[in-house]
Amino acid sequence: MMVKGSLRWTAVASFHSLRVVTGKGNDLRGGPVRSCHSATSPHLSPAASGTVRSYDEIPGNWRNSLASLYTFWKLGGLKNIHRIMVNNFNTFGPIYREKVGYYESVNIINPEDAAILFKAEGRYPKRLTVEAWTAYRDYRNRRYGVLLKNGEDWRSNRVILNKEVISPQVVGNFVPLLDEVGQDFVSRVHKQIERSGKGRWTADFSHELFRFALESVSHVLYGERLGLLQDHIDPDTQKFIDCITLMFNTTSPMLYIPPALLRRVGAKVWRDHVEAWDAIFSHADRCIQNIYRKLRQSPESEGKYPGVLASLLMLDKLSIEDIKANVTELMAGGVDTTSITLLWTMYELARYPDLQEQLRAEVQDAWASSQGDMIKMLKSIPLVKGAIKETLRLHPVAVSLQRYITEDIVIQNYHIPSGTLVQLGLYAMGRNPQIFPRPLQYNPARWLKGESHYFKSLSFGFGPRQCLGRRIAEIEMQLFLI
């Protein structure tokens, strides 16, 4: 944060970057990997003429799924998937097909090809789901939120939620709540510096950012503070934090092993996952009860935005179970994603002191011109917004975006049939020198007006199925940096 007693961040050696550097190396076990597409790689622009080639002619490792699965795990599996995708694009070019076990997809990297993909997503866009989360909901007979839903049920819910959560008009609702948390975080940091007696902050930054992100998203969604930025946390709140952490930790193993199998054998990871989600939904139940109690006691609004949960309850267009499902999904998807992005942003800024000063000057000018009006201020910080986009280019939260196409399409002169899973490699695209000049340089100015950004900034997705929590995340991160 760069106003009101701002802190200057310095690079710390303990924070390790997953780097992809230009060179001849090709070591997927942790060594350097070339930026996507060397001079000898196929040209990136879509083929504009010639005979369309068949689906079976798409290059890649798809003919022997078991051999591909063995190679995938040998090279690090999901933990190393970003490097594996970079290597595959280097090997096969801007489009390749793969089949790993029963999982088959076509992978693309070109922004122009991304435009073709999203035009073919249809009225009801469909992507990969988090199997562990759907398995829990099926087990407990709970409703899916829009993150997990498909078809008309998804669309009808999404239309209602868009107006309450992602519409530009909601910015005025979210800013005061998120700014309050941001100011408290600054105060907490300064108090910790004073107590340390060392003149510097020595807390676990990633842990502090997790608490900040959870406090922020809870304030917006539930309309209440959890008290995570206080020195002492009450036992119920601590249990809630522990369960959120447990939910994330138990989700990852079930990306490797089908949840149905783990449930059948009574695996501990499955039992822990169920316990975590039970507690998260119980928290939502308590919040709903508190909101109804407050409405009975004081039915007249006091002018303060009550939070997404209360707003949806008063709107009365979704069932309570649908509201609960969507709010818990927003919470689950809005904690580690923003905290990790902020962690990478501070790391990158620590490497470029001159850039810190440029951002500070922009923030100070915006503060003066807006006279402290945070909503107006957010309209005058293009470089700060560029810094967040640049972080997401180099360090995207998701390695790829996925869509099941609903019609036959042609990409790079290859026919791709309807129903195929197509993935856009975000990590690989962000480090491609033919798409982003000097891709390993952290340069927020590349996102300012004057340059073409056509389908290049897709970290929050695109179209009707873009990230529902996008507006919350963007405002939260922008306010944190200023």
Query: Which residues are annotated binding-site positions for heme?
Result: 467
- CA torsion sign for 101, 103, 109, 112 is positive
Bridge partner list, 4: none
CB atoms within 10 A of CB 187: 13
- Burial label for 180, CB within 10 Å (0-12, 13-18, 19+), is middle
**Binding site as annotated, residues:** 467
> Strands, DSSP E only, in 74-204?
95-100, 103-108
Token match 């539930």: residue?
Answer: 222
Smallest CA-to-CA distance from 432 within 94, 118, 79 is with 94
> Strands, DSSP E only, in 51-102?
95-100
Contact 463, 166 (CB under 8 A): no
Angle at 154 between CA 153 and CA 158, to 5 degrees: 120
- Quick one: angle between helices 336-350 and 470-481, nearest 10? 30
Q: Is 97 helix (H, G, I), strand (E, B) or coil?
A: strand
The secondary structure of 368-437 as a DSSP string is: HHHTT-HHHHGGG-HHHHHHHHHHHHHS-SSSEEEEE-SS-EEETTEEE-TT-EEEEEHHHHHT-TTTSS
Token match 């990590």: residue?
Answer: 427
Q: Give the Cα separation of 122 and 464 in Å (integer).
A: 10
Q: Is 53 helix (H, G, I), strand (E, B) or coil?
A: strand
Q: Give the Cα separation of 273 and 276 in Å (integer).
A: 5
Q: Give the Cα separation of 83 and 20 in Å (integer).
A: 8
